[in-house]
Amino acid sequence: MTVISPAQPSSLPTGPARARAGGPLNGTIAVPGDKSISHRALMIGGIAVGETVIHGLLEGEDVLRTAAAMAALGAEAARGPDGVWRVYGRGVGGLVEPADILDLGNSGTSARLLMGLIATSSLTAFFTGDASLRRRPMARVRAPLEQIGARFVTREGGRMPLAIIGTAAPTPIVYRLPVASAQVKSAILLAGLNAPGKTTVIEAAPTRDHTELMLRHFGVAVDVAPTEGGTAITVTGQPEITGRTVRVPGDPSSAAFPLAAALIVPGSRVTVRGIGLNPRRTGLIETLAEMGADIAIANQRVEAGEPVGDATASASRLVGVEVPADRAPSMIDEYPILAVVAAFARGRTTMRGLAELRVKESDRLTAVARSLAACGVAVETAGDDLIVSGTGEPPPGDGAIATNLDHRIAMAFLVMGLAARKPVTVDDARPIDTSFPGFVELMRGLGARIDLPGG
């Protein structure tokens, strides 16, 4: 088997990329595997006993950072010539101390979930990342893990680089999430796997449940029950986890870009096969349907505990809507592309409760507003709300977009350029590879006009 290094060169050149209007987009495609599920398959496979076989793993830079980190912690994670990944786990509590610093690149998911795994292992690990990740706060995950018994040494504000010293005597906890966060919830549940007794997380609003579903797929008992003020998710520590086969569905956050492009480019019709349809990830599809989008779902099924299906989007006349704050957890990564779609709709689209966007790869709320304004779109922010006013016609475009190393900002505004009156240029397309390797080639295959440095 060949180990893929996260340090491998990006397939996209560094430098500005430009998207411009052309003909309709048409075709049937598959997008790379779900990033959230890919991370979890590698991590849980790494603490299972025996072999875990993963089909469709996303081979973007973020997930490859997780694979490299699990290998450094003693679990073999490698890709075979057939494209299938195999992980040979260490068992719960069996991780070993890494010989070097764990460099997690741009991946906040890798950082926060790995902290949970390491918190209840008797080892010390050092974390760092790229300039963007080193700016992102880790205090929200640090607080509950310190209650379990882990110790941290961090930069000011709980930022990386940091050291985590796992505890040999973990204490199970009951922790109420102060802010809805699937990453914090997952870190606590993963830490609880190597703690005696029951570890419980209480969430007031539902967040992504990929960790719970993946743990169940690996044979772990996960109890979910209503409780005062929310839902309690409980794992019982020190289970025997055995390797499994995992089929990773297409990432709905990646599918959002070609589907959105089909909605705003006249005459288009695009089908994305085999995408995840977890109800806690379908907020964008629900919102687009409210806006009048022609989106159909077919061939629905369940794989590795996750609902999957095929989505077809056709060019549509759209209207503005109000998106409630309680929908944010189910579509938090899709707001940049929703904001672009809203620029083509008739009327105001108000997206409420977007505080979480301020602590993503960039301050996405500010970045989206600034980028829309650069393309001639009427946009405003009010607290944590984003308000986009469209005319029902293509916006001017002609913007130069500063992505700040944010892959979703880059993809969203390349999609805008495919239907705006004038081209849109992003300053650097290279970060797209962190979540969607092959994005430009796939979009070009549908008929998109995207120009890269050097042609």
Identify the pLDDT of residue 5. Answer: 36
Q: Which residue is it, tokens 């239907």?
A: 419
**pLDDT at residue 90 in the model:** 96
Lowest mean pLDDT among 17-31, 111-125, 304-318, 358-372: 358-372
- What are the residue numbers of the active site? 333
What is residue 455's predicted lDDT score, i.e. its pLDDT? 64
347-388 tens-digit pLDDT: 999 999 998 888 766 689 999 999 999 999 999 999 999 999
Contact 434, 12 (CB under 8 A): no
Domain extent listing, the chain: 17-34+249-451, 35-236
pLDDT confidence of residue 274 = 96
Mean pLDDT of 189-195: 98
Q: Evaluate whether 17-34+249-451 and 35-236 have a shared fold.
A: yes
State how far the Cα of 174 lies from the Cα of 147, in Å rounded to an integer: 10
Contact 2, 425 (CB under 8 A): no
Return the percentage of the chain with pLDDT > 70, whole number.
Answer: 96
CATH for 17-34+249-451 is: 3.65.10.10
Average of per-residue pLDDT across 67-91: 96
Query: Given strand 17-20, what is the order of strands in its sheet?
Result: 400-401, 424-426, 17-20, 449-451
User: In this predicted structure, what is the pLDDT of residue 361?
Assistant: 63
Domain spanning 35-236, CATH class: alpha beta
What does the mean pLDDT of the chain come to?
94
User: Which pLDDT does position 118 carry in this prediction?
Assistant: 98
pLDDT over 90 for what percent of the chain? 87
pLDDT beyond 90 at 147: yes
Neighbours of 396 (CB within 10 A): 13
Q: In b/e form, how buried is each residue of 284-300, taking b as 16+ CB within 10 angstroms?
A: bbebbeebebbbeeeee
Matching residue, tokens 């240029």: 425
Supply the pLDDT for residue 180.
85
Taking residues 24-31, report their average pLDDT: 97
What pTM value is reported for the model? 0.86
Residue 260 CA to residue 408 CA, distance in Å, equals 13
